[in-house]
Structure 1
Amino acid sequence: MKLRSLLPLAALALVPALASCSVFQKKEPPPCPPVYILGDAGTLTKYKDGKGRDLTDVEFEAEINGFQGDCKYDEKGALVEIQVSFAIKRGPGDTDRKAEFTYFAAVPLFYPAKDAKAEFPVSVEFPQATNYVRYTDEPVVLRIPVKDSDIIQNYEIYLGFQATQEQLERNRQGRK
């Protein structure tokens, strides 16, 4: 009879000891994959149609000036949410007070699969009497089918403007 009354007390005595076990501790979430702004594609100068390429032909200039993000994991891997911010300057060649461009998020380790790169179109209007706009796009979500937190760092994500070959060459010349 005495043994029965001691069992509940012994069980209660074990609770603090079990609480310190790693089973009850909150696990630190795995890291998010690294995100970078691609140097050659981090800026964009859009000229009006035609052969002119001087200052008067510039419709707008845009720059990716930052991003915010977060990630979570499920049974299929990582879900990465990224929200990209832009600085956009209207040029003298603009006639409709709009800047339309496309940016991308790419995971080079997935290349050449079509899922290695996602493109996102953006249309921004310049308010009257304003030639400069800061714009933050809606969040985009990327699925990275990797569950191992040790290798997620290898799945780098690159952000950039979807540019023409001419625009890329101009960016590269400007960086020299």
Structure 2
Amino acid sequence: MRRQMLLAAAVVAAFTAVPAMSYAQGRRDPEAEQRKQQEEAAKKRRQREEWGDNQAPLQALRNAGPCPFVKSLYDAARYVEFKEGREASANVAWSGEIQGISAGCQYKDEEPIQLRMEVLFEVGKGPQADGRQKTYRYWVAVTDRNRSVLAKETFDLPVTFPEGEDRLYVTENINNITIPRASISTSGSNFEVLIGFEVTPQMAAFNRDGKRFRLNVGQASNTPNP
């Protein structure tokens, strides 16, 4: 399923400049050359705007720097819902886990970072599930590397389990994540994109303690795996 997400922080703090490109060894003053290239790129961009030569960015265009770090938050990477809050495999109603994340970004000159994500979810229906339909909720947040959350958005993940099935894989495509940059020298490495299920404090503690159940819960052991 495709999702559209637009993150536009009104104010983004200035970050330490990160070199936009790597340079071959032997250059005497790489910083001066980098500044010169940045100034030339900005000049060309202004000329294109003045002459109306604005083209959509190419997919193969080289970024001005690295992409933001993208990962799941450990406390919210899994979802295990117990009936009446009792932690036993026979009491599991619904479960889920983020199995994989792939992401790509694009930016140049003074443009904001445009990032896209593809997330693979594995969801399960336990012995205490009520029916075959469940709407999970997950969130995506942009932070300035462990300091503060710049923007956050929550999405629904509706799932219908076929008759006789207790496990499904669902892929979500999240497009148009826009991250403003304070200056031309602000690279993607200043930011972090996190994803996780919307969980209760009890679920977060269950994940934090490293407890686990298989997604086809209720068919074997009645105690969580360490």
TM range (shorter): 0.7 to 0.9
Whether the 8 Å contact between 1:82 and 1:141 is mirrored in structure 2 is: no
Would the aligned equivalents of 2:67 and 2:187 in 1 still touch at CA under 8 Å?
A: no
**CA 1:123 to 1:27, structure 2 compared with 1: closer, same or farther past 3 Å?**
closer
TM-score (norm 1): 0.73
Deviation at 1:149, TM superposition (A): 6.0
How much has 1:140 moved relative to structure 2? 3.7
Task: Measure the CA separation in 2 of the matches of 1:120 and 1:27.
Answer: 30
> Counterpart of 2:30?
none
Alpha-carbon spacing, 1:168–1:70, altered in 2? closer, same or farther (3 Å): same
Assess if the C-alpha contact under 8 Å between 2:116 and 2:173 holds in 1.
Answer: no
Indicate the RMSD between aligned Cα atoms, in angstroms.
2.7
Q: Does 1:166 align with 2:208?
A: no
Match of 1:19 in 2: none
Whether 1:38 aligns to 2:73 is yes
C-alpha distance in structure 2 between counterparts of 1:51 and 1:36, whole Å: 28
Structure-2 change in CA distance of 1:94 and 1:158 (3 Å): same
The answer for the alignment partner of 1:18 in structure 2 is none
Correspondences of 1:55-66 after superposition (within 5 Å): 55-66=89-100
Q: Secondary structure at the match of 1:107?
A: strand
Q: Hey, what does 2:222 align to over in structure 1? A: none
Aligned partner letter, 1:69:
A
- After TM superposition, the structure 1 = structure 2 runs for residues 20-169 of structure 1, keeping only pairs within 5 Å, are 28-30=62-64, 31-48=66-83, 50-73=84-107, 76-109=111-144, 115-146=150-181, 148=184, 151-169=187-205
**Unaligned segments of structure 2, at least 5 residues:** 1-36, 41-59, 212-225
Unaligned 5+ runs, structure 1: 1-21
TM-fit CA distance, 1:150: 5.2
Runs ≥4 residues deviating over 6 A = none
Q: Deviations over 1:37-85 (max 9, x none)?
A: 111211110123x344322221121110112222223754012111211
Inter-CA distance 155–99: structure 2 relative to 1 (3 Å threshold): same
User: Distance between the aligned counterparts of 1:139 and 1:51, measured in 2?
Assistant: 32
> In 1, Cα distance between the equivalents of 2:61 and 2:143?
30
Structure-2 change in CA distance of 1:35 and 1:148 (3 Å)? farther
State percent identity of aligned pairs: 27
User: Partner of 1:13 in structure 2?
Assistant: none
Name the structure with the higher strand share.
Answer: 1
Aligned residues: 151
Which residue does the alignment assign to 2:26? none
